[in-house]
Structure formats: structure tokens, C-alpha cells
Structure 1
């Protein structure tokens, strides 16, 4: 009988055991610095350009270009790291990233057109150091498969949500500084320092090149398996819904005359997410992974539709708290699902595909939301985001069997 993979419930002790594992301290600390700005770079760029050009449409396109670059760079960097380890790739892209960010700022300050800003934003995103996939892949070397490793993956998702709380809030606050590009510079500096530090840790330097990948020679790489494509679809839907909300919420705040609180409102989206994420890891539902991914995405779309109802910022805050409760559970589910879906030897690249899918979804969502906000009121963007979550959740349901593990043959069946 074929059963869906049932994720082990984790405890607080499992979290402590994972984080205290020998060799984990330095990578954990440095990756915190490297990943803190992940939700800050794109938003800081969006707010910076919006303040400079006074157009959410142009800002949304440039931010979407940045996310497209991240989508490409996460897979490209992940594939290289699976083959040569994380140290050299992270050091090289960190140096290139610094040059590209400086160039983007120079073009913005000189009043450059969108036709120049968008390609530069794509290049900046491509060279953002992908410490997240490298950090996640390192747990497969530090811990054996089981509940403690699941706790480590849950920690990765929960910590990312903490960064999603801090990142937008910091971007929203720093854009109000005398120079609107302060948030972009601060985020880039933090990312480079953390990535270089992670690359030089003993655990990262000890990671050896891998040659056992079962997808060697495939253009799609880790995405060649049906299960990985289903995980990618779930991540794309999640990113699309979230991306639309990330543009519509600041626009809603601006329409009420409180533009400065737009970034802080986005942080509210993640507050409940962190709390629920810890509790959800202890009692995940639905327990079978092939049912969990479509259920979470559909429920997220339904909750985002609640953002249509509030007429005040206080009401919008409450609705964001409710919708945000399903953000971390989805991130955790994507990460844990890779254990069954990813081909052997593609740990870093597989997580890179998750990031790619989320960022492609966010790029599409932000671009669409920017246009809807310009043409209509933010509620239309919220309604569209919710509908996208429900539709893609339904599509994922039709593909749920691709996340079932392969049948294990008995010796007698193998002989036959």
C-alpha cells in the first residue's frame, strides 16, 4: 500500500538538539545576518523607486525584475553549490552583488528610465548570495534523517518568518530617512557580511562536491521529477498570493494618508505566522504531505480574501494577523516535502527551485497587483490574490499523488 509521507511532530527539545549540534553554531549565526534582508531588499527597492518616481507601477515592475533575478540565481547558484560546495560561489557572488547594487543606486539617483532600472534589478537579484539554500542543505550533513532534522527545517522556515517580520518593517522605516535608499544599502551590507561569514565557517568549507546526483545531464535538474514540480507549484501559488498582498497593503495605507506604516503593516502579516508556525510543527495537519500542500494553499487564499472587508487600518491589521497564520506552515511544508520529492544529490538546488518558484510567483503577483492598484482600489488586488490561491490550490489537489513516495519493493518483487 502506498501512503503519503507523514511528517513527524517535533518538540521544543528537538529544536534545541538541532541548534546545539556540533558544527552548527557558526553557520546558524552567520546565516541569520545573511537572511535577515531577504524580505527587505526587494521591498526597499520598491519603496525607494516609488518615492523617487512617484509611481507604484514602475516600482512594481522593477521589484518584479529583482525577484525574477532571484528566481534564476537561486537555482543557478544552488546547482553549483551541490557540485563544488557553498564557499567559493558565495564569495564570488557577494563581490559581484556589491558592484551591481552600487550601479542600481547610481542609475536611480540620476533619474534613469525603467528600461534601464529593470535589467539592473534582474542582475541584482541574480547575484543575491543564496545563503538560505546552502544553510538548509547543510542540515542534511549535520543531522541524520528524522524528527530532529525536521525540527531544523522547521527552524529554517520559522526564522525566515522572523526575517519577514523585521525586513518589511525596517524597509518601511528606513525609506522615511532623509535618503530613501538607506534601506537598500543597509540590507545589502547585512546580506554580504552574513554570506561571507557563512561561506568561511568550518562546516561550509568542509562540504565536499557531490557527484551522485540522479539528474546529472538534465536541463531541469532537480525539477525533473513530478513530485518536485508539485512542490514548485505550491511554492509558486504561495509566492503569487503573498506578492500581491505586499503591494496592495502599502497602497491601502497610502490611500488612508498613512504611507509610512505600509511596511509595518506587512510585518503584522508574519507575527501570527511565527507563533502558529511553532505550534503547527508540533501538530501538523493534514499529516500526509500530499494532502497538506493543497489544503494549506487553498486555505491561505480563502483567508487573504478577508482583507477585502476592513475599511480602517485597525481592521486591516486584524485581517492580516488572521491571514498570516498560514504563512510559516506553508514554508515549513515546502521544505519538509523536499525530503520525499527531491532527487538524490540535489539538496541545495531543490531548495533553490522552491525559492525560484516563490519569487516567480511573487514577481507575477507584485507586477499584477501594481497594475490593479493603479487602475482600481486595493480590495480588487486582495480579491484577485485570494482567487489565485484557491485556483492553484485546486490544481495542486489534482496532482497530490505525485507527492506519494515510491513503492518499496520486497526482495521477491525485485526478483520477479
Structure 2
């Protein structure tokens, strides 16, 4: 451990040189991801008049964003964050702007809109994983690093709650495509400020010859445990959104009540994430991870017996309490397991698992609703998370991962120090 205090506070993170500026820039860019899905969906519906086309376009955009995330993270590991992120964000923002221009008025061709959406999704900058890599380089203390990851996850949750509210404000006075333009501006400005900050200059290309280490690392089980849990959490959460909507309809509540229930889920996740970062755990991350996934599963099983919306809200809030800790711990394990030069990719695999799981959970439960009772659907979603917890026990590494190495003693790359002192290497959601 470094000479930091035994119980460093969250405020200690912002006393680290350049941390406040770098984190604020990353959050600005990531706010774009809270807007973009709803903005693109509304724009496509406005332009084509078809919900089916809008759904297809969003599925294509999401697939390109999610499943190519590890490949984009590999570019950052291979070429350095600054060299990879700026062109990536510029191309992504440009394609979003082209999408907005095409979808600004009704009558736009669906094929062109779809092609632009796929192209934009292919270029989505992995700001979340890269920021987590920067945290792992900036923070020498394991306890403080857990606080950094927890705060990162909680604020990301806030961004995804506030993003749709911004879209709603924009469409009051402009076409939905204007919200897509706003998303493009946020991601470009935020990524540029982030990439030009001194700590990001240290996220440099992997050492020459590291490919052999990469092949050995990928052949092991280092990422099995965090990826399994992230996938299970994503599947469960993807199901919950639709199940809450169906439950509200079944009990004759308006759609506005759904927002409050899902807000309780986010609030529970925020509280759980902050407490997870503040507590000095005796258990190792590998031992805690199955417990968080199991807690989520048990809370969703309890939701299966909810007789009314108030009880369901309480159960969903309890489920949320385990979400941020599960994902934060998954990222910590992935970061500790990855060799130097591959941490961004490690975080991106966890990120891909939770996002792919969320999409799969929504699709899967959509087939079940109407076929079986909602209670059984909630129970199945809880069982998925419990299964992930059990599987992760078997996937846990037999040896504990090494604690994060302080930046001062981590190996540096051969990139000249003139490109920016600070910290070499990598990491990138819930989400993008």
C-alpha cells in the first residue's frame, strides 16, 4: 500500500492532480450515451413513421456498439488513448451529425438511416473503460481505487437517468434529431478534453512483443468470473425494465409510475455503489463477487411475490443495491487480472457482457410475458443472477489477483515522456 490514509474518502480522489478535470471531461462525453439511444429512436420514428424501422435501427446500432467494444478497446491498447480516441470520437460525432441531418424531416430513406446508425455504432468511443484504466493508473491505493470505480459507476447511473430528461427538454422546441446533434457535440467535446488531459497521455501503446503475453492471457480463465457475473446482471436488469412496465399495466397504473420504480432501482444502485466503495472489506473481490450477484438474484425472487406496486418498488430498490457493487467488483477483478497493455480490453469485455446481457434479457422476457405469470418471470430473472453467482464460484481464479501497482513503479512504454507524463496504459458501458 502507499502512504495514503487507512480510510481514504471519496474527496481524496479529487485531490489527485488532474483527476477532477479528467473525470469531468469523461463524464461530459459519456452523457452523450445517456441521450443517444432515445434521441435516435425518436428521430427514426419521426423520419420514417415506423416503429418497426426504429426498433430495427436501434438494434443494429446497439449491436455494433456493444459487440465491437473489445475491438475498439484493443485500438486504444495498441495505439494509445490519445491517438485512438480523438479520431474515433470525431468520426462517431460526424456520423451522428449525418444521421441527424438525414432524419431531421419526415420522409428520409430507412436504408440510409440504418446504414448511418450502424456506422456510428461501429465507432463509439469506449470512454467508460478508458476512464477506468486512467483511474487504475492515477490511484496507487487499492482501497481508494475501489472508491474511484464505485463513484464512476454511480455517476454513470446518474447520466443514464438524466440523459432521457435532456432529450425530453430538447424535443419540446426542436425536432428529435436536434437531440442527436447535442449527443454528438457532447461526445466530441468531452472526448477531446479527456484525451488532451495529462493523465490520458499516459495511456500509451502496449510494449512491443506483448502479443505473446496477450495470447497466453486470453487462453486463461482470468476474465471468466467477472464476465459471467456481468452477463448475469445484464440479463436480469434487461428483464426487469419490461417486467416493471407489464406489472404496472396489470395493476392499472399509468406509465409514469414505471419511471418511479426504475428510479428506485437506480437509487438503490447508487446507495449500494457508494457503500461498497466506502467499506473496508475483509473478503477479496473474487469472494465478494458471487455474493453481490446472489443478493441481486434473491431480491428479484422476492419481487416475484410482490402483491402491489409499493412492495415491488421496495424489492426493486433492494435489487438495485447489489447492481453497482457487482459491476464495480467485476471491473476491479478484470483490471487486476489483465497484464500491462490490455486493461482497456479487459474492462471492455466486462462492459460488453453487461450490455449484451441487458439486450438479451429484454428480448427473452419479451417472449415470456403473456405466456407465464409475471411472478414466474421475476423468479426466472432472479434465477439467472443466482446461476451466474454459482457459476462464478467455479470460474473464480485459484490465486488472488495482484493488487494494483502504483503508477510510480509500473513499467513505462517507449513513447517519449514529451507526449505527457503521468501514467501508461489502459481500461473502459454499465455501458459505453
C-alpha change, 1:245 and 1:184, in structure 2 (3 Å) is: farther
1:31 Cα deviation from its structure 2 partner:
1.0
Give the match's secondary structure for 2:37. helix
Contact 2:129–2:344 at 8 Å: present in 1 too?
yes
CA displacement at 1:167 relative to structure 2: 3.5
Aligned residues: 395
Which region of structure 1 is more displaced relative to structure 2, 208-217 or 262-271? 208-217
Q: Equivalent residues in 2 for 1:312-323 (5 A)? A: 313-323=309-319
**Higher helix content, 1 or 2:** 1
Shift of 1:265: 3.9
Match of 2:417 in 1: none
Q: Give the structure-1-normalised TM-score.
A: 0.79
Q: 1:276 to 1:352 in 2, by over 3 A?
A: same
State how far apart, in whole Å, the 1-side matches of 2:81 and 2:315 are. 40
Partner of 1:195: 191
Structure 1 residues 206 and 227, CA gap change in structure 2 (3 angstroms): closer
Query: Which of residues 108, 118, 124 in structure 2 aligns to 1:128?
Result: 124
- In 2: Cα distance, 1:42 partner to 1:168 partner: 9
Q: CA deviation at 1:390?
A: 1.9
Using a 3 Å threshold, how does the CA distance of structure 1 residues 265 and 183 change in structure 2: closer, same or farther?
farther
Instruction: Give the drift of 1:135.
Output: 1.2
Write out aligned runs for 1:51-66 (5 A). 62-66=57-61
CA offsets 1:11-55 (integer angstroms, 9 cap, x no match):
4x3422222111222211101211224344335545666787675
Q: Specify the alignment match of 2:206 in structure 1.
A: 210
The question of whether the paired residues in 1 share the 8 Å contact of 2:221 and 2:397 is answered with no
SS where residue 287 of structure 1 aligns? coil
In structure 2, the CA distance between the partners of 1:343 and 1:164, relative to structure 1 (3 Å rule), is same
What do residues 170-189 of structure 1 show as CA deviations (whole Å, max 9, x unaligned)? 55776787745565444443
Question: Match of 2:275, SS?
Answer: helix
Matched, 1:71 2:66: yes
Query: Which range moves more in the overlay, 31-40 or 355-364?
Result: 31-40
Query: Superposition pairs for residues 15-414 of structure 1, below 5 Å?
Result: 15-45=10-40, 62-105=57-100, 106=102, 109-110=106-107, 121-170=117-166, 179-180=175-176, 183-211=179-207, 214-216=210-212, 218=214, 223-250=218-245, 252-253=247-248, 256=252, 258-260=254-256, 262-263=258-259, 265-283=261-279, 287-310=283-306, 313-373=309-369, 381-402=377-398, 404-405=400-401
Question: Which consecutive residues of structure 1, in runs of 5 or more, have no partner in the other structure?
Answer: 1-7, 407-416
* Structure 2: tracts of 5 or more residues without a match: 403-432
